[in-house]
Amino acid sequence: MRRNPALALLTSVLFGLAAVGAQAAQLEGLKLVDGENGTRAVLDLSGPADYKIFTLANPDRLVLDLSGTSLANGYKAPAPNGVVAGVRTGKPSDGDLRVVLDLGREVKPRSRIERTGSQARLVLELLTDGAAVAGKPAPARTLQDVIGTGSRKLIIAIDAGHGGKDPGAIGPSRKFEKDITLAMARELATQINADPGMEAFLVRDRDVFIPLDQRYMIAREAQADLFISIHADAAHNRNANGASVYVLSLRGASSEAARWLADQENAADLVGGVELDARDKNLAAVLLDLSQNATMRVSDDVASEVLAALKGVGKAHKPQIERANFVVLRSPDVPSMLVETGFISNPGEEAKLSDPVYRSRMATAIVSGVRSYFANQAPPGTWYAAHQGQFGGPRQHVVSRGETLSLIAARHGVPMNSIRQANKLQGDTVRVGERLTIPAATALAAAPK
């Protein structure tokens, strides 16, 4: 695309209702998330509005004009982040709002709209990968640039269920699920932040309502490595008790895949910002399938570790992880689980869940399960990857669909014969759902090949 040095009109998008008769919208918040290929600006709007985007050069700026929009009370401009050096607002005309992003370099903007009921979210992708800086080519990227220095902390997104106008389940003594989940999420965040290799991100940190499909999108924007949704179950049977751990069902994955593939921006987002046209639908479907399968496999493994750790705190409601079509678990590229910490409808468990000491024990178990997984299967460039092999003791692996013994051995970096001996296997056949003991690294040198 040839770029006018004075002004480049990149896109004009009609959004929501027509101007006539439309209610005025408010810009309630704006946050910036820096990523590998640029910066994402997320604008939370109280309602629909027409908008247009254009860029200015010398210096580089991106201008967003929102029709019939004003700033909400309490709006605060975000701190500079990534390619965005500053954010300013103004009024280009009566009743309209202008948002100016001061940029550190030229960007290629891309926008998408997410709507839930009367609320809306405008997401601007400010792509920089491959763009020139002051007429010079971008420096060559190295492997170190891609995987990092080995000190990156794992980002664990914690979603406290319900909130605001949605109290969730209500216990016999009138305890609200939304309050218990927030208290549990805060305790979990405290313990995660105490770990040298992890950092917590609270999807909600106060009593506020967030639509379900926005929760996992918020986690994606935070570039989370894992998403944990915290809840407290309820049942007509007041004697029901015990914790449960859920992952997404195949049905939920299929419906979410169809929705993502129907959205051109979502499809491109799944392949690192590469724009896909109509001819690339099959490629997008294949890439999404690969992404979802890998994500669900990790979700299964982490959830199994967490459930095993929770059994040390108290009785589990079910002996195995469960699968359900929960909306908050539908992220195609962020491993996700939902933890039912107990039954708030049970008077005894309601009292336990209201006890900070008990919540601390539950949080310790969840963190222990998460740590157990990442200690053995850490993403490259993270603190855990840099300290791989320093966590003693045997590991556990739950066999997922499509896995073989050779694949499991390669994944954990141990000889197949070591796994056979540790689990008294007579052959190479493994069953879906089977829990295998993986020998500790210190014992591998003596293991027969």
Q: Which amino acid is at 341?
A: T
User: In this structure, is residue 180 part of a structural domain?
Assistant: yes
Last residue of a domain, one of 106, 140, 174: 140
State the residue for tokens 């089977």.
434
State the residue for tokens 């002004």.
7
Query: What does the alpha-carbon distance between residue 339 and residue 159 come to, in Å, rounded to a whole number?
Result: 10
CB 403 within 8 A of CB 392: no
CB 274 within 8 A of CB 375: no
Do 330 and 419 belong to one domain?
no
DSSP 231-297: EEE--SSTT---BEEEEE-HHHHHHHHHHHHT-HHHHHHTTTT----GGGHHHHHHHHHHHHHHHHH
The closest alpha carbon to 441, from 407, 418, 408, 417, belongs to 418
| Total domain count, the chain | 3
Last residue of a domain, one of 376, 406, 427: 376
Query: What does the alpha-carbon distance between residue 8 and residue 62 come to, in Å, rounded to a whole number?
Result: 10
Do 255 and 298 belong to one domain?
yes
User: In this structure, is residue 385 part of a structural domain?
Assistant: no
Measured on CA atoms in the order 250, 255, 261, 264, is the torsion positive or negative? negative
Give the bridge partners for 63, in sequence order.
Answer: 54, 100
Q: What is the pLDDT of residue 91?
A: 85
User: In this structure, is residue 85 part of a structural domain?
Assistant: yes
Query: What does the alpha-carbon distance between residue 357 and residue 80 come to, in Å, rounded to a whole number?
Result: 39
* 346-358: pLDDT as tens digits: 999 999 999 999 9
Q: Measure Cα distances from 21 to 49, 69, 135 in Å.
A: 12, 14, 46
- Domain of residue 400 covers 392-443
Query: What does the alpha-carbon distance between residue 352 and residue 440 come to, in Å, rounded to a whole number?
Result: 35
Walking along the chain (449 residues) 10 residues at a time, the average pLDDT comes out as 32 33 75 83 85 83 88 88 89 85 87 72 79 39 44 91 92 94 95 91 90 86 91 88 89 66 49 47 69 86 92 84 87 90 94 94 92 85 77 66 76 77 87 77 34
Q: What 3-state DSSP class applies to 384?
A: helix
Do 173 and 278 belong to one domain?
yes
Determine how β-strand 69-71 pairs with β-strand 25-35: parallel
